[in-house]
Amino acid sequence: MTSINERASTLAQAHASGRLVVLPTAWDVWSARIAEAAGFAGITIGSHPVADAMGSSDGEHMHFGEYLAVVQRITGAVEIPVSADVESGYGLAPGELITRLLEAGAVGANIEDVVHSEGGRVRDRNEHTDFIGAARQAADQAGVDFVINGRTDAVKLGTDVFEDPLAEAEARIQLMEQSGARAVYPVGLKTAEEVTRLVTAVDIPLNVTAHPVDGHGAGDLDALAGVGVRRVSFGPLWQKWLSAQSEEQLAGWAAGR
């Protein structure tokens, strides 16, 4: 089996290559193996689709140990690198968070700035930057080339929270890059103009969420590459698409047609 250091190096090199990397978002061993068989170089694990599969809900409502058990089953079932979405960290200190992720076999993580366990509080810029920096330090001390994908919900939260959400997202991703993130994830981008502005604000890959069939508001895979996107994941959209397809196909059977 490929070692965790080899997997981490593979994922880190993909992010440093300058090429666009697509990391499908899995939620169990079955979906992870499908992505591996399709030829993807790595996968992400999404807290949202895992929660749905477990009968829970997104927003740090799962028990973290149960979530890590899913992560560990996936990392043990595939040979490709796996990055796990850990929301805001489930209340753990950065060092413990990284340690537990490495124990579960993950070599990357999304870390976001909305603290769901504290009523949806939004970390301020410096607090989130410090959290990312401490996670980077913990990974480096462990000797693993861990890929932190620093997420901000500034655009998603909109003007109810920030006067200029796009400018806030820009400032946050720049700070996260400086603190050691290997990719940044400003969720909620809808247009090519928004994507282009934030892509040019950092030197590391910018992650967008795309639909596996319909693509992104900025276009298909070629269009995203054209505006400089270097990391794409699916979030819960692959699972939702499969759900809709299944419901449509099974409806006739349920109705006796």
**What residue segments make up the domains of the chain, in order of their start?**
4-247
Q: Hey, which residues does 26 pair with through a beta bridge?
A: 45
pLDDT in tens, 33-44: 999 999 999 999
**pLDDT (average), residues 13-27:** 98
Could you give the CA distance from residue 24 to residue 43 in angstroms, rounded to a whole number? 5
Percent of the residues in the chain that have a pLDDT greater than 70, as a whole number? 99
Q: Hey, which residues does 45 pair with through a beta bridge?
A: 26, 84
**Does position 117 have pLDDT exceeding 90, yes or no?**
no
Which pair of structure tokens corresponds to residue 1?
A: 């089996």
pTM of the model: 0.95
Could you give the CA distance from residue 242 to residue 253 in angstroms, rounded to a whole number? 17
Q: Do residues 114 and 151 make contact, with C-beta atoms less than 8 angstroms apart?
A: no
**Does position 166 have pLDDT exceeding 80, yes or no?**
yes
**Does position 1 have pLDDT exceeding 70, yes or no?**
no
Kindly indicate the confidence band of residue 163, based on its pLDDT and cuts at 50, 70 and 90.
Answer: very high
User: What is the predicted pLDDT for the residue at 60?
Assistant: 86
CA–centroid distance for 122 within its chain: 18
**pLDDT (average), residues 138-165:** 97
pLDDT in tens, 186-205: 999 999 999 999 999 999 99
Beta strands in 3-73 (DSSP E): 21-23, 25-26, 43-45
User: What is the predicted pLDDT for the residue at 257?
Assistant: 67
Kindly indicate the confidence band of residue 184, based on its pLDDT and cuts at 50, 70 and 90.
Answer: very high
Lowest mean pLDDT among 45-59, 99-113, 167-181: 45-59
User: What is the predicted pLDDT for the residue at 191?
Assistant: 97
Lowest mean pLDDT among 58-62, 188-192, 204-208, 236-240: 58-62
Kind of pairing between the strands at 114-115 and 121-122: antiparallel
Q: Do residues 184 and 148 make contact, with C-beta atoms less than 8 angstroms apart?
A: no
**pLDDT (average), residues 212-222:** 96
| Residue listed under structure tokens 């170089």 | 41
Average pLDDT of the chain is 96
**Tell me: domain 4-247, CATH 3.40.50.300, correct?**
no
Q: What is the crossing angle of helices 125-141 and 94-103, to 10°? A: 50
Q: Do residues 94 and 135 make contact, with C-beta atoms less than 8 angstroms apart?
A: yes
If phi over 0 gives left and psi between -120 and 50 gives alpha, with beta otherwise, what is residue 57? Answer: beta
Q: What is the crossing angle of helices 165-178 and 125-141, to 10°? A: 30
User: What is the predicted pLDDT for the residue at 59?
Assistant: 82
**pLDDT (average), residues 79-83:** 98
Measured between its terminal Cα atoms, the distance across the chain in Å is: 47
